[in-house]
Chains A and B, each alone.
Chain A
Amino acid sequence: MTECPPKTSAFYLFFLLAFLSAAATVQAQDWVRTGTNLGVAKIRIAAADLKPASIDPLTGGLKSAFDQTLYNDLRYAGIFDVVSKSMIPNTTPGSPQEIDLAQWAADPSDAAYVAFGQISVSSGRVAVQGFLYDTHNTQNPQVLGKQYSDTATVQATREIAHRFADEIIQHLGGVPGIAETKIYFVSQRTASKEIWVMDYDGMNERQLTHLHSIALSPRVSPDNSRVAFSAMGRNGWSIRMFSLDLNRLVAFPAWGDTTLSPAWSSSGDKLAFSSARTGDPEIYTCDASGSGVRRLTAFRGPDVSPVWNPRSNAQIAWVSGRTNLPQIYIMDSDGANVMRMTDGGYASSPSWSPNGQFLAFAWNRSYGPGAPGGEDIYIMDIASKRWTQLTHDSGANDFPSWSPDSRHIVFQRETGGHTEIWMMLADGTDQQQLTHGGGNTMPNWSWK
């Protein structure tokens, strides 16, 4: 590997900034362009609290759920500078007739766009009217006008907020939002390790499996219909398949032989996995039904954690211990053209960005016997092999998984013996803890 330029540029940048006594923070990741608007000037947007338009006693609670959810969704999106609630005008316009755009465009709000609307509850149904207005376009300010209706529950209202947020993100960011996506993960809060799912913002946690064994490595199918994972059974580790449509396990060949780490192709018709059916763990592929098993690698030592290039499905990245400490490799999906990506240390858990450009992975660059944890999340531009470190000095970080918009990464972080799930923007900023207690690991972001 060649010397990593970001370090050098960060080095000079540091002195430049110190010389100028600039207050700006050093952006060591200044070369990172995920191609999805990270790094460009952020759009200043304000979200007014909804105006309650009914006297039903549920109204207040559902309004709070919506307001909080929409605010967080816009903040997490990574493309907005969301006006703090303390700086927005002290009004709750419920309709276009009630909003004074100049008030929102002026200091301190200074918003380019404002989201507002009203909420009402009647007969067990909640209805939301949501608007997005351009504060500087006085002639034709409306960007979006949406109406939603669902059962009057907090979760349904939160989902309405997610849908409205995704509309806003799609319109202003040009890429579908992630507010309606899910994160699959492993939790041992029930004593055994089971597969769980939550909304991308850490809410709405739900247990999927009840195997009372050890279930690991959940990977949701691209159509959100199934979750493949590996579980310890009578014959050791096998791939298991959970149907999200049927809410139960469905048939899949129980090969045993330490079959681990399933990974879906983005076309949904293939899986890659690791199996020790020869006595040595190797990478294989098969059809979604488990037929057509094909071996790709033949190297002494562990080969595990494959992921497909979701852009083409023509390449697979995986972890191999053929030179002792595990390293990240890439090969064609027929096993040809093996290429080593990392240059040392202990590298594991690759995740391939949906736009095909980056690998995210866990790396401990100074790993050795007795070395303490220092495992961080890195991303690497595949074409140039340039990498940058996203987490610093904060526990042991592992299992990154890209969001479908290639703007976010979810990962696990262990600090003080507790492992929780966090997310961040793909430049390492805006780190948010999503789970709180019980031992939560191996997050996998849904494809949509």
Chain B
Amino acid sequence: MHYANRKSLALAASLAALLTVAGCHKKTPAPPPPPAPPPAAPAPTASITATPDTINAGDSAVLTWHTTNATDVSIEGLGTVASSGTQSVKPTQTTSYQLVAHGDGGSADATATVTVNTPAPPPAPVQESNIDESAFEAAVKPIFFDYDSYDIRTDAQSTIQSDANFLNQHPNLKVVVGGYCDERGSTEYNLALGENRANAAKQALVSAGVSPDRLRTVSYGKEKQFCTEHTEACWQQNRRAMFTLDQ
């Protein structure tokens, strides 16, 4: 019986807290404690913080809480937890985590809110049928590689990010990631190296949030050259990963 009473009390407190925080994402002060418990038992205390309190979608925050004089501690949404502890959370939208501590001396609660910055909603959904190859290639730029390397260079990171942004705004577009090599060296080895380049570019886009299902790699090795002079400037143009519409 005692247990059931406590349970309903916790439920009531939770509901009250929910009503309190509804519509307000700021940290709210604890509601007034319920009617004084028997004087013998000290009143529980509860505190909770979220670090950081503002995150981007997909990132995580760490909740840290501490209670005293509590026999039953829970966090709304996470269930029963230890009297003190930390836990990593990964909310997809702004969420308030309410810590409720019950003890013989009554109950206490505290709330921490994690504000989630959602990316700006895609502007007026673009009609993807309007994107032709030239528009696509103007928006999604190639990246270039060092000699005999398929590592993504630091100067390619911003290109990958803007390429990924465009692709994330046009989620229905499918893309061929082509890997290319300069004219030097073996035909077969360059085809394998071109595949490594295409795959490195694909993985970079996937890391930037593009679904791998939309990306298909093809190696052109040294079979297709963009520049045909035998100079380093030309070879650099030809060592690339390039993106084209997969139609």
Contacts and interface: CB of A to CB of B under 8 A. Distances in A.
Contacts of B219: 236-237, 258, 276
A258 B188 contact: no
Contact of A398 (B148, B150, B186): B186
A301 interface: yes
Given A236-B217, A236-B219, A276 B195 contact: yes
A362 B216 CA distance: 32
A interface residue count range (under 10 / 10 to 19 / 20 to 34 / 35 or more): 35 or more
Interface in A422-438: none
Interface stretch (A89-97, A308-316, A319-327): A319-327
Interface in B186-234: 186-189, 191-193, 195-196, 199, 203, 216-219, 223, 232
Contact of A302 (B184, B193, B203): B193
Nearest to B150: A301
Contacts of A280: 196, 199
Interface in B168-200: 184-189, 191-193, 195-196, 199
B192 A258 contact: yes
Contacts of B191: 216, 237, 258, 260, 304
Given A301-B196, A303-B192, A441 B217 contact: no
B interface residue count range (under 10 / 10 to 19 / 20 to 34 / 35 or more): 20 to 34
Contacts of B187: 216-217, 398-399, 441-442
Interface string A203-234: 00000000000101100000000000000100
Contacts of A375: 185
B197 to A, nearest CB: 10
B186 A325 contact: no
Given A304-B191, A348-B185, A370 B232 contact: yes
A281 interface: yes
Interface string B127-163: 0000000000000000000011110000000000000
A367 B203 CA distance: 29
Given A281-B195, A302-B192, A348 B148 contact: no
Interface string B56-71: 0000000000000000
Contacts of B217: 236, 258, 276, 279
A237 B218 CA distance: 8
Contacts of A232: 218, 223
Given A325-B148, A369-B232, A349 B223 contact: no
A302 B189 contact: yes
A69 interface: no
B199 A279 contact: yes
Given A258-B192, A281-B195, A304-B191, A214 B186 contact: no
Interface in A256-281: 258, 260-261, 274, 276, 279-281
A232 B199 CA distance: 17
Interface of B: 147-150, 184-189, 191-193, 195-196, 199, 203, 216-219, 223, 232
Which 5 pairs across A and B sit closest by C-beta, in order of nearness?
A302-B192, A348-B186, A304-B192, A281-B192, A258-B195
30 contacts: A214-B223, A216-B187, A217-B187, A217-B188, A232-B218, A236-B216, A237-B219, A258-B192, A260-B192, A261-B188, A276-B196, A276-B217, A279-B199, A281-B196, A301-B150, A302-B193, A302-B196, A304-B189, A305-B186, A305-B189, A319-B189, A321-B148, A321-B193, A324-B148, A326-B189, A348-B186, A348-B189, A398-B187, A399-B187, A441-B187
